[in-house]
Amino acid sequence: MKEKTFIISGANGNVGSYFAKNLLDKGANLILIVHNNDDRIKLLASENKKKVKIIKQDITAFLQLNNKLNEVISTTGWSPTHLVHTATARSHDIKSLADTDPELWGKIIQANLIGTFNILKVALAYFKLNSYGKIVLFGSNVSRIGLPNGSAYAASKAAIANIGRTLAAEEAVNNIIVNTVSPGPIKIDDSQFSESYRKFREEYYKEKIRDIPLKRCASFQDIFGLCEFLLSDENSYITGEEFFITGGKI
């Protein structure tokens, strides 16, 4: 496999934008899928027009996502080899399940579950054609510990890991490797969040860090290091797993 082309969903997010910068440094072509904003990666794309393409698309809309990706692939001649799926709707409900608005619950499930199905279905068509593909899905430690006041997010993250296990078994025959990376709290820039969500995270993480043996949140490098290996040619046998990056917290 000579040329690597990564599709990154949630590419304007904290993790997605970090991955974009680092994978570009390693020489990959990048197809970056963003939702509302591209402020974190706009400069990277404009300075590297031959290596980076941005697609602005809600991943819940399968046809538009498929069409836009096909268009980029036919104009660049790139063939996707890797998928890093970080896009997520966060736990904006901040309420117990009993008090959560059904429409909001559905929206989070739509983005995190239907969105995951869509991005996988679109990428798999290319991976199967080439009998090669490496996928990392982003789950969360909440898939094993739950998330009080974030039931839709917790449910969707657990489901993503199980989609990963299923896909690994279905697509092993096509040389497609799929793993889920499930971090605990990551140290991120939270300036874009609403005041209430920032407060919720502050309190939540203050309490959580007390329980983390290594007494800190994960850094982007902590996350990237493992993913880099899972996505590399060195990994030809580890598939269908869920990896927890939690500083020793079970």
Ligand X SMILES: NC(=O)c1ccc[n+]([C@@H]2O[C@H](COP(=O)([O-])OP(=O)(O)OC[C@H]3O[C@@H](n4cnc5c(N)ncnc54)[C@H](OP(=O)(O)O)[C@@H]3O)[C@@H](O)[C@H]2O)c1
State the residues that interact with ligand X by CB under 6 A: 10, 12-16, 35-37, 58-60, 86-90, 111, 115, 138, 140, 183, 185-186, 188
Q: Give the whole-angstrom CA distance, residue 182 versus residue 140.
A: 4
Distance CA 87, CA 203 (A): 24
Q: Closest approach of Cβ 32 to ligand X, in Å?
A: 10
By beta-carbon proximity to ligand X, the closer residue of 5 and 143 is 143
Nearer to ligand X by Cβ, of 95 and 144: the residue is 144
Q: Taking a C-beta distance cutoff of 8 angstroms, is the pair 77, 1 a contact?
A: no
Quick check: 136 and 86 in contact, CB under 8 A? no
| Of 132 and 185, CB closest to ligand X | 185
| In the complex, minimum distance from the CB of residue 79 to ligand X, in angstroms, rounded to a whole number | 22
CB of 75 to ligand X, least distance (A): 21
Tell the residue number behind the tokens 């300036």, with chain if given: 191
User: Closer CB to ligand X, residue 73 or residue 186?
Assistant: 186
Q: How far is the CB of 228 from ligand X (least distance, A)?
A: 16
* CA-CA-CA-CA torsion sign (130, 160, 30, 245): negative
Q: Which residue is nearest to ligand X (CB)?
A: 13
How far apart CA 7 and CA 201 sit, in angstroms, is 29
Dihedrals φ, ψ of 107, to 5°? -65, -40
